[in-house]
Amino acid sequence: MRKRIGIIALLLAGMVSPPLGAQPMADKAAQKNTAQASHQGTGKVVSVDRAKQRIKLAHEPIKSLGWSAMLMDFSVMKTSLLEGLKEGDMVRFELKQLKPDDLVWVIVKIERR
């Protein structure tokens, strides 16, 4: 009887051992940092769609994200960010991920350069 209790205690201890318990929290913290981080980019405006709150850019490489130069559609945080922007403008912009697991990057700042 005493032996059985000992085994149960060991099993319970294993379930709440620090390495297992700490790991998910560390992952969450890392994801939160990624979500809050913003990335700077530069590029050229290809088209602006105010109705859809989107802009197409030919962006230059963004090293902080490991992206090479490419043509890409972005959503902007608010329509007013697109004011005064037109095809052919050279721009500097800032990207943010709204949700940690989201693959979508949103432009939170954009200005002509």
DSSP 23-55: HHHHHHHHHHHHHH-EEEEEEEEEEEETTTTEE
Minimum distance, C-beta of residue 100 to Cu ion, in the bound complex (Å): 19
If binding means CB under 5 A, how many residues of this protein chain bind Cu ion?
A: 3
The contact mask relative to Cu ion for 52-71 (x = CB under 5 A, - = no) is ---------------x--x-
Angle CA 92–39–25, to nearest 5: 165
Interface residue with Cu ion, options 35, 72, 77, 106 (CB under 5 A): 72
Residue 48 Cα distances to 13, 51, 75, 94, 97, angstroms? 58, 9, 10, 17, 21
Q: Which is nearer to Cu ion, 72 or 85 (CB)?
A: 72
Minimum distance, C-beta of residue 28 to Cu ion, in the bound complex (Å): 27
Q: Which residue is nearest to Cu ion (CB)?
A: 72
Residues that bind Cu ion (CB under 5 A): 67, 70, 72
